Structure 1
Amino acid sequence: MFRTALRNVLAHKARLLMTVLAVMLGVAFVSGTLVFTNTISNAYQKSSAKGFDHVDVAIQPESRNDTRDTIGKEPKLTQALLHKAAEVHGADSAVGVVSGFTAVAGKDGKLIGNGFQSQGGNYWGDKDPRYPLVGGHAPKGQDEVLVDSHTAQRAGFEVGDTARLSIDGPVLTPRIAGIFATDDGNVAAGGSLVLFDTATAQRLFHKAGAYDEIDVKAAPGTSQTALQDAVDAVLPKDVASTTTGKQLADDQATRIAEQTSSLRSSLLVFAGIALFVGTFIIANTFTMLVAQRTKELALLRAVGASRRQVTRSVLIEAFVVGAVAAVTGLVAGIGIGAGLRSLMGRLGGSVPDGPLVISPGTVATALAVGILITMLAAWLPGRRAAKIPPVAAMSSVHAKATTKSLVLRNTLGALLAAAGVVTVLYATTLDDTSDAQAPMGLGAALLVVGVFVLTPLLSRPLIAAAAPVLRVFGVAGKLARQNSVRNPRRTAATASALMVGLTLITGLTVMAGSLQTAIDKMASSAIKADYVVSMANRYPLSPGVEKTLKSTDGVTATSPLRNAPSRIDGQTEYLTGVNGATIGELTDLKLDDGTFKVGGTQVVVDDDTARSHHWTAGSRFTVSYEDGGRQQLTITGVYQGTEMMRGIMLDNATLSPHQSDPSDMQVMVKTSGGASSSAKDRLVKALGDNPAIEVQDKKDISNSVAQVFTLMLNILYGLLAMAVIVAVLGVINTLAMSVFERAQEIGMLRAIGLDRKGIKRMVRLESLVISLFGGVLGIGLGVFFGWAAGELLGTKMATYELVLPWARMAVFLLLAAVVGVLAALWPARRAARLNMLTAIKSE
């Protein structure tokens, strides 16, 4: 039986080619993901470990306990504490570390790197062991800085050039005193690092006389744990805690592993989708191969082969096919992993140097996935073939499914689909999105499986609906419709592969379009301001920005939005500081109760906060500010909160005295002539053409959100394209094997007058009908899932409503049609080229 199985594999190489390709693509996706993520994780871990070479013990501020009745100030690491740490027994030296956001512009005026990874810090003394200089000298005073070598190379900076920087709004133009090397992971990922002298860094980052961390280097012969014990002995209680350099490196490695694990999991989900679609092809292929060899298998049974041996022979074939696909997929995956790493560099990202990591786990996973999925998909066709009695197989009475099996299949499919719909609908009624995720996922899986089981039943009425169109093509159209429904199970498996991909694509498109509409409504309904000014990376703005804007020509009203923590009724609540005199001109918030009046001790609160504290207009409460001060405030009104405006709103004149370093999250601006390109230019120039600051009108806000959705959607489309490609292979494979199976029939059609063009047209129309059938099912399911997911989002976003992207759905249906036409090219050509007499004589 083993030799027979191998002979069958070699005899059907062409027919198994598409199956091998489908499995290979899925395995390549899996192994490529594992190689890529393991490689970048290993590179970043080794690179970050180098950054702790000069740290044996790190002293960090003790985390604040937010269960106290007052917010209080964070413990500080002072200069005195630095001296104590440097003088403990076993310490060689101690370095104070200060860091914060620092945006640096290139010579073209644009922000360098990713805003969230644009960092600044301090250079310690005349020679900082953390940052070896490759040119220039240490910075001295506020007019000199150092930049990292990667940033200098990208921007074309040299020692002596002038840099344009921004910490929290105002533009700084220091001279580049030197360039340094670093193993910082943010820099390696494409960010930037700018260093000031310590006093300047403390002033710019609002940490006068304090440090974010104190790094202690051990003297020769002193272990990290011994030094940690010595430092712990001199630290004041509840002020700071210590961590060894090894622990810091281990923690950093864990964080990097978690980050790459999230990326790995996301990519593997799409690899799983491609493999899931591939199972339809595998099952279809082996079902057709077994059907074509029914008499051969019956003869084996007749000469003494058992059912198990027949099933085993099919599984051996699947094992060989899966092994070949897995090995080739692994090799292709290694190439994909290397290519993705190279692509990151070309797109502006940077990965630290390191070898390509091909772990034993990656190899084992690739082989296991390829072989197991192929064998599992082939098991049912093999088992079904083994159960056919030899006599029945010889006379081909097995060809049609029994009425009992059809009733059982349709009943099971209906139950699964109904259970899926009910579960999804139940999930949409839950208020907590996290609680709804599990039932939503379960319901979606049940519904997709149920529809797949019901697809043979659905194929007849849906394909029959295309009959009027197919009649236009005459005999070829009629034959194409009949061929499409001749074997409903085969048609179902072929169409379902395409259905899965289009379901996901349509669902994502429906959600993205609905969310974008909700964002547009939110921006236009809650804000009267012409412009919103903020840092590009959403870091806090200096209060000086609002003062600059207020004095700019054409500006009629401004209000900063300032966040501050507080304690109310034993709970942490964030206050939103505004300009009470102008906030009414700049916002358009609907009131549920009272009047909109902010000033002195009068505040307004959003409906959710009011509901949680059982407040109404006229209620009074006591707030504990971050400096420990307490004050009684009165609620004048309750407004409907939005994603852009919510919380307890009070006047900045009341809030600011309780803040040590006031800063604004954004500034709302109204101009005399409304939003216009000239007004925007005036604001940008007033702020010094600062690359770190964004000046956005309502349309810009919507567009910035749209860009995020569009980018994510394009990435998801690209990942799902693998599933569509696999589905195309399935259509090609099914048609090609169907042509082989119907060779005698095609020969007869040629003999009675159907020309080669007619044969080609018949096969193409059959492919088109099957693809459109899968497309209709996929778009229908995608709309349902998009609606259901939107119902969950609607509980969090008041402006959310379902928007059906009719144009895009039409494009998706057209895409399904194109898939059908392209997939039929080779099978149609092959069918047309069959020799008429040879085909008639074939069995």
Structure 2
Amino acid sequence: MKSYTDLTGKYLKGQKKRSLLTIFGIILSVTLLTSIGTIGMSYWDKSVRQTLRDFGDYHVSLNGISGEAVPKVKNNATVKSAGVISREGYAVIKEANEKEKKEDPFAAPYRYLNVKEYDASAMNMLHPQLDSGRYPENPNEIIILSSSLSYFSKQPKLGETITLNLGIRKVASTGEDKKINGLGDFGWDLDETFQAQSQKEYTVVGFMKPSSTGSWSSRYIFPAITFNDNKSIDNNKNYFIYVKMKSLNDIKKKTEDLMSSLQLSNVEQGSAMQLDRESYIENVRIEYNNELLKLYGKSTYEGVNNSLTLAFTAVITIIMICTIAMIYNIFHISVLERISQFGMLRCIGATPAQIRKIVLQEAALLSLIGIPIGILTGTLFMKVLFYNISLLTLGFLNDIRMVISAPVLITAGLLGLLSVFLSAIGPAKQAARVSPLEALKNVGSTKVEKITKIKKSLLVKTLFGIVGQFASRNLQRNKKRFRITAFSMIISIILFIVFSGLVGFIQQTTQISGMQYSYSLSYNGPSGRIDDTVYKHIAKLNAVEQAYKFYNNQVMAIIPKDKINPKYYEFNKNRYVVSEGEGYRTDNNYLTSYGDNGLDALKSKLITGKIDKEKMNQENGVIVQQKITMTTEEGKQLILDQTRFKVGDHIKIRTFDRGQKGYQTVTVVGIVDQDLLSKEYNSSHVVSFITTPKVYSNIMGSDIYSRIFILAKPEISNHMITDYLKSLPEKDAGFNYTDKVEELAQAKNDAKTFSIFFYGFIGVIVLIAFLNIINTVSTNLILRTNEFATLKAIGMTRKEVRKMIILEGVFYGLFSAVIGIILGTALDYGIHLLFTGALDADWVFPWYSIGIAFAGSMITTILATIGPMYRLNKVSIADALRSVN
């Protein structure tokens, strides 16, 4: 041995169990960092790809740019690439006949194809989703919407040629050209006619899937896309340009500078909506693809960017602190239990600097072993998780891919190394401060223990006897060791509560959008009524799981002033302006019924109250849906109650028909956050009153329903449903139906997949926390072998030693659970506050997580004591007393 530091390697070899436990702790910490980093990168990658599909791969769109400005935009120094779209014209594929106009007074005069020209860049940026075929590659090829095929006199097939008479839409009464909004896929008028201008032949090379965000006019206007390389630009034509910037920094200013360079005025600005959906515009309109930009932290809403950055920084900081704490505990316990060894080294001449170097060398050697293994195990653990998700092939995450990111792995390794050295510095300094004489007198501390200061607990003695008092005194006798071990458990509890709250928050703010049903049948004929024979026929079909009659009408209501949520009132004071009595008269309310079977299904969604149909009929009972989601002008998403009604409250409502009764009083019998067929919160600022058909009829003076929602059985073919629904418009043009079978299946799978993914993520946290507690508590007990041998030597039986060890575990668990729950809940709330700049939802006290954390803490600490306890009992007293450990 050339120097004292040569002892490092020999010590690690000689104390294999202790070294392995320390390495295991480092592996756990690095595994945690690698797993969280990999999950985060993979989820971000999936979110980006999903957003690109839904909203397009562009940063800014300029709608209505004149032809002369197109080259200037494409050649601008800040622009990386630009996709150009123009309107080629409309083509009539079916004209409404007299029978259809009579049966459906609101039917559009024509069903159109809206032919648009995309260049290659636009096709790549907006990538329309295909059912079959391919994208057009020349101006004579076209792709059309699958749902438009039934309106052709002869349905075209792939590879066939169609002839379209392209032209413009005009206002029938004035002969003026009809103003077209945006790309023109939405918006029609009864007072319009069509004027053909040219004829063109196209080869059909593909069929597009319908947009998931189609509106009421999508039954009459169907998009079709052809190709144009835009080598020649028509200066008299308006174009739609989708731009990708070279840099996302200050994107709003760069766009404004770009527009200034074009010398364009009267520009409207907004946020991108779903693909192919346009706002009403005047001249040029700028739309920022904020759904994509916010994933890069570069949205046009600074408040949103800062809030998300701070929130995720806080989460990463918590992970870092917890990781350092885990490793610190291991090193600290190891050093405390080796104080006598360091004291001996000091007695034979070792300097404090050499002692520090010994501890830091240990940290370096253990890091070289533990960190690579931790990176490997974290990666393999994630590989298993993602493989199992891929087998399920469910919904939103069915194409999630595991992203093994070199920066993530390198960062996990560096953070692990930093954590180890930060963890070792404190114990190294403490070891260097050891007084040789004191250390030799007292194993496990740098100071002489003052036993007289230990407090006696009458409660512990009464409950657990003298053995319980021994357990309590053991913890008090070496408070530093107790705090270190408890701290490790506290960290694990904090991790669980914080990440459980984070998962719950993400689930709350990523509700699956749209009403969830298989089919919707509606009737727009003169009577406005669906005959009961139609409903009965549908309900009897074997493939139908449930069919709900949908009664719905707008009503006026007087909302008492004390029932208005003040937070909502701050943002929407114009909603409550007409005073009447002790409240405000509002007209954005709806009285709704899904039939008696709908009320039965709604019971599972009740937040409070009870559904009793007979009582509701007697008292004009209603169930109030008052929670909404809204976005402020700053881009902040809010989830809040618009009103604050409670069970037993009375509300005055009336119809808009002055011929009907005046105000009638309804009684609140229940509260729901979501509608019967919805997995999301209402976004239309509507207060819905859901009731029975009888109450609806009494208040509205009518029992007419014009819509039926159908839930199909997934295990049975739906042909009998679709065949019947297709037959109805042939008999009466007032009927039309929507098919959402595929979308409903996707939505259900999304909900399952989110749960699997998020709770799998929580499972990673729980497993690592469990192993960390087992490791820390076990290490503490094993390193006290000679102490337990001493107790046996002075007369304590094996049974009493076992009881004492278990009670120590219980006391560890109780103390850690209380502190961990308090700190974890506070941090959970703090992170929620940081997120409120972007996503403001009600904070829910984490009772469920607290219960699991408390029970888990107690069970884990008891389990952690069982293994070491039996090992200690097998060691003979003489052997244990001969050994330092």
Aligning the two structures, in what range does the TM-score lie when normalised by the shorter sequence?
0.5 to 0.7
RMSD: 7.0
* Partner of residue 480 from structure 1, selected from 424, 447, 471: 471
Matched, 1:194 2:156: no
The answer to whether the 8 Å contact 1:323/1:367 transfers is no
Do the aligned partners of residues 791 and 264 (structure 1) sit closer, same or farther apart at CA in structure 2, a change above 3 Å counting? Answer: closer
Letter of the aligned partner of 1:333 in structure 2?
G
**What SS does the aligned partner of 2:875 have?**
coil
Letter of the aligned partner of 2:483 in structure 1?
A
Whichever structure has more strand as a proportion of its residues is 2
How many Å separate the matches in 2 of 1:544 and 1:489? Answer: 77
Do the aligned partners of residues 821 and 804 (structure 1) sit closer, same or farther apart at CA in structure 2, a change above 3 Å counting? Answer: same
How many Å separate the matches in 2 of 1:8 and 1:400? Answer: 20
* Partner of residue 762 from structure 1, selected from 782, 804, 807: 804
How many Å separate the matches in 1 of 2:400 and 2:825? Answer: 45
1:368 corresponds in structure 2 to 414
Do the aligned partners of residues 610 and 308 (structure 1) sit closer, same or farther apart at CA in structure 2, a change above 3 Å counting? Answer: same
How many Å separate the matches in 1 of 2:829 and 2:401? Answer: 46
Structure 2 stretches lacking a partner, 5+ long = 67-83, 92-112, 159-185, 188-203, 252-271, 273-287, 298-304, 537-547, 590-624, 629-640, 644-652, 659-682, 697-703, 714-736, 741-746
Do the aligned partners of residues 241 and 398 (structure 1) sit closer, same or farther apart at CA in structure 2, a change above 3 Å counting? Answer: closer
2:25 corresponds in structure 1 to 22
* Partner of residue 687 from structure 1, selected from 709, 715, 719: 709
Do the aligned partners of residues 215 and 277 (structure 1) sit closer, same or farther apart at CA in structure 2, a change above 3 Å counting? Answer: same
2:484 corresponds in structure 1 to 493
Letter of the aligned partner of 1:4 in structure 2?
L
2:464 corresponds in structure 1 to 470
2:14 corresponds in structure 1 to 11
Instruction: Note the 1:175-194 alignment, pairs <5 A.
Output: 194=209
Shift in Å at residue 583 of structure 1? 4.6
* Partner of residue 216 from structure 1, selected from 223, 228, 232: 228
Shift in Å at residue 78 of structure 1? 3.2
Matched, 1:306 2:290: no
The answer to whether the 8 Å contact 2:5/2:358 transfers is yes
* Partner of residue 830 from structure 1, selected from 854, 860, 871: 871
* Partner of residue 291 from structure 1, selected from 336, 339, 351: 336
**What SS does the aligned partner of 2:579 have?**
coil
**What SS does the aligned partner of 1:296 have?**
helix
When the two structures are superposed, what TM-score results if normalisation uses the length of structure 1? 0.54
How many Å separate the matches in 2 of 1:789 and 1:780? Answer: 14
Shift in Å at residue 140 of structure 1? 6.5
The answer to whether the 8 Å contact 1:127/1:138 transfers is no
The answer to whether the 8 Å contact 2:523/2:706 transfers is no
Shift in Å at residue 686 of structure 1? 3.2
Do the aligned partners of residues 241 and 618 (structure 1) sit closer, same or farther apart at CA in structure 2, a change above 3 Å counting? Answer: farther
**What SS does the aligned partner of 2:445 have?**
coil
How many Å separate the matches in 2 of 1:181 and 1:733? Answer: 60
Matched, 1:643 2:627: yes
Do the aligned partners of residues 614 and 180 (structure 1) sit closer, same or farther apart at CA in structure 2, a change above 3 Å counting? Answer: closer
1:393 corresponds in structure 2 to 439
The answer to whether the 8 Å contact 1:494/1:734 transfers is yes
Do the aligned partners of residues 353 and 548 (structure 1) sit closer, same or farther apart at CA in structure 2, a change above 3 Å counting? Answer: same
Do the aligned partners of residues 76 and 494 (structure 1) sit closer, same or farther apart at CA in structure 2, a change above 3 Å counting? Answer: same
Shift in Å at residue 24 of structure 1? 1.6
The answer to whether the 8 Å contact 1:728/1:819 transfers is yes
Do the aligned partners of residues 508 and 726 (structure 1) sit closer, same or farther apart at CA in structure 2, a change above 3 Å counting? Answer: closer
Residue by residue over 1:139-191, the C-alpha shift from the partner in whole angstroms, topping out at 9 and shown as x without a partner, is 574697999xxxxxxxxxxxxxxxxxxx99xxxxxxxxxx9999xxxxxxxxx
The answer to whether the 8 Å contact 1:60/1:214 transfers is no
**What SS does the aligned partner of 2:241 have?**
strand
The answer to whether the 8 Å contact 1:642/1:797 transfers is no
Letter of the aligned partner of 2:627 in structure 1?
E
Shift in Å at residue 269 of structure 1? 7.6
How many Å separate the matches in 2 of 1:770 and 1:339? Answer: 33
**What SS does the aligned partner of 1:761 have?**
helix
2:788 corresponds in structure 1 to 746
How many Å separate the matches in 2 of 1:792 and 1:137? Answer: 45
Matched, 1:590 2:560: yes
How many Å separate the matches in 2 of 1:791 and 1:44? Answer: 23
Letter of the aligned partner of 2:240 in structure 1?
A
Share of identical aligned residues, percent? 17
Shift in Å at residue 205 of structure 1? 2.1
Do the aligned partners of residues 380 and 804 (structure 1) sit closer, same or farther apart at CA in structure 2, a change above 3 Å counting? Answer: closer
How many Å separate the matches in 2 of 1:638 and 1:244? Answer: 43
Do the aligned partners of residues 372 and 207 (structure 1) sit closer, same or farther apart at CA in structure 2, a change above 3 Å counting? Answer: farther
1:535 corresponds in structure 2 to 515
How many Å separate the matches in 1 of 2:400 and 2:844? Answer: 48
Do the aligned partners of residues 271 and 51 (structure 1) sit closer, same or farther apart at CA in structure 2, a change above 3 Å counting? Answer: closer
How many Å separate the matches in 1 of 2:401 and 2:850? Answer: 44
How many Å separate the matches in 2 of 1:652 and 1:119? Answer: 45
How many Å separate the matches in 1 of 2:359 and 2:59? Answer: 63
The answer to whether the 8 Å contact 2:485/2:777 transfers is no
Residue by residue over 1:581-606, the C-alpha shift from the partner in whole angstroms, topping out at 9 and shown as x without a partner, is x454xxx8434699xxxxxxxxxx98
The answer to whether the 8 Å contact 1:502/1:778 transfers is yes
Letter of the aligned partner of 2:425 in structure 1?
W
When the two structures are superposed, what TM-score results if normalisation uses the length of structure 2? 0.52
Shift in Å at residue 768 of structure 1? 1.7
The answer to whether the 8 Å contact 2:335/2:427 transfers is yes
**What SS does the aligned partner of 2:229 have?**
strand
Shift in Å at residue 733 of structure 1? 3.9
Residue by residue over 1:92-139, the C-alpha shift from the partner in whole angstroms, topping out at 9 and shown as x without a partner, is 999899999xxxxxxxxxxxxxxxxx9989988899999999xx9995
1:415 corresponds in structure 2 to none
Matched, 1:279 2:301: no
Do the aligned partners of residues 714 and 653 (structure 1) sit closer, same or farther apart at CA in structure 2, a change above 3 Å counting? Answer: farther
Letter of the aligned partner of 2:861 in structure 1?
G
Q: Which moved more, 1:742-751 or 1:477-486?
A: 742-751
**What SS does the aligned partner of 1:61 have?**
strand
Instruction: Note the 1:131-150 alignment, pairs <5 A.
Output: 141=151
How many Å separate the matches in 2 of 1:821 and 1:80? Answer: 75
The answer to whether the 8 Å contact 1:558/1:668 transfers is no
The answer to whether the 8 Å contact 2:390/2:399 transfers is no
Shift in Å at residue 791 of structure 1? 9.9
Do the aligned partners of residues 98 and 716 (structure 1) sit closer, same or farther apart at CA in structure 2, a change above 3 Å counting? Answer: closer
Letter of the aligned partner of 1:386 in structure 2?
A
Do the aligned partners of residues 205 and 124 (structure 1) sit closer, same or farther apart at CA in structure 2, a change above 3 Å counting? Answer: farther
Do the aligned partners of residues 253 and 835 (structure 1) sit closer, same or farther apart at CA in structure 2, a change above 3 Å counting? Answer: farther
Letter of the aligned partner of 2:413 in structure 1?
L
Do the aligned partners of residues 559 and 63 (structure 1) sit closer, same or farther apart at CA in structure 2, a change above 3 Å counting? Answer: farther
Matched, 1:384 2:425: no
How many Å separate the matches in 2 of 1:96 and 1:710? Answer: 31
Shift in Å at residue 87 of structure 1? 10
**What SS does the aligned partner of 1:313 have?**
helix
Shift in Å at residue 345 of structure 1? 1.8
The answer to whether the 8 Å contact 2:778/2:864 transfers is no
How many Å separate the matches in 1 of 2:42 and 2:858? Answer: 40
Shift in Å at residue 835 of structure 1? 0.8
Do the aligned partners of residues 36 and 706 (structure 1) sit closer, same or farther apart at CA in structure 2, a change above 3 Å counting? Answer: closer
Shift in Å at residue 715 of structure 1? 6.4
1:627 corresponds in structure 2 to none
The answer to whether the 8 Å contact 1:139/1:146 transfers is no
